Amino acid sequence: MVRYAVDPATLARLQRRNRLETALTLLVLVLLAAAIGWLAAGPDGLVLGAAMMAGGLAFGALPADAVFRQGFGAARLTPFVAPGLFALLGELSRRANLPVTPALYLLPQPVLQAVAAGTLDKPGIGVTRALVETLTPAELAGVLAHEVSHIRHGDLFVMRLAAQASAITRAMAQAGVLVLLLWGTGAVGAHPLLPALLVVAPLLSDLLTLSLSRTREFLADAGAVELTGDPQGLASALLTLERLQGDDFERLASRGPRWLRFFRTHPTIAERVAALREATVVVRPALPVWAGSPWGEVLPSPRRRLPWRR
């Protein structure tokens, strides 16, 4: 039987690209915060920025239970409520070599949504009832594998680090503006670049963080296919989401000029499906595809065709 999977060379290239872009993005974010701190307050500004970063990383890492219960108002699921869903998540976690299986939460939002949160030792994945009951088993497997890939690749920590660096940059910029208003440029050596940096740095840090988020979505998609061996499941899920609730959930692609897409947290559905198409190769054999009811026992399902192939 002909099966499809992600090209190992493509996956390796995406991993190298993500490591490089992540390192460069985080370096630029740290340098922006350091530059503002130095120009605004000298060595004391660097010390303050480092302390803020350390504090944010130490106290900003919340376990999944706190994030989902307090932030989303979600309820934690148990194997008695959704045995099929737990069986799927357990198998995906085993294939991903996660130290622990993520906890499952039912989100109260009415949309089709899945999200990963928490820390590596206490991760969690939240899903909405609409998502679970709308997608087919293969599509649901692709979506959950995508979230497992985020945990596997360390995206929870990377994006938290980027968000902390961006927040520190904004805080440093606000402090720099206050210094200029109270004491003028003479208080920081009258550096001519400081006013421009205070204006540009916060926006640049936000754009870098959003770009990093979009890039890591592509790797999570490829990683999901690596775990399931079923690129058509994830591609079909993405197309279903687009058909039912549209791609422009951030209201940034179809409204206004095209440059607004730089403020998106996710690539467009078309871009993600195209990336999956380019990364797909024919293999024999492939990993079995999970199929079954998320609320009941696991059952086999017939093969499905790739949505982009005829």
Task: Classify the phi-psi angles of 73: left when phi > 0, otherwise alpha if psi is within -120 to 50, otherwise beta.
Answer: left
Structure tokens at 286: 């492939």
- Spatial contact of 138 and 240, defined as CB atoms under 8 Å apart: no
Cα–Cα distance for residue pair 152/221, rounded to 1 Å:
12
Structure tokens at 68: 């989902």
Query: 147 catalytic, yes or no?
Result: yes
Torsion angles phi and psi, residue 5, rounded to 5: -150, 170
State in Å, rounded, how far the first CA of the chain is from the last one. Answer: 17
Structure tokens at 294: 């998320």
Catalytic-role residue among 91, 147, 217, 226: 147
Measure CA 137 to chain center: 22
- Spatial contact of 144 and 92, defined as CB atoms under 8 Å apart: yes
The residue type at 96:
A
Structure tokens at 266: 């996710």
Cα–Cα distance for residue pair 52/4, rounded to 1 Å:
47
Cα–Cα distance for residue pair 109/172, rounded to 1 Å:
35
Handedness of CA 130, 289, 238, 216 (dihedral sign): positive
Gyration radius from the chain CA atoms: 22
Which residues, other chains included, contact 152 with Cβ-Cβ below 8 Å and sequence gap of 6+?
A: 96, 97, 98, 223
Report, as residue numbers or ranges, the catalytic residues: 147
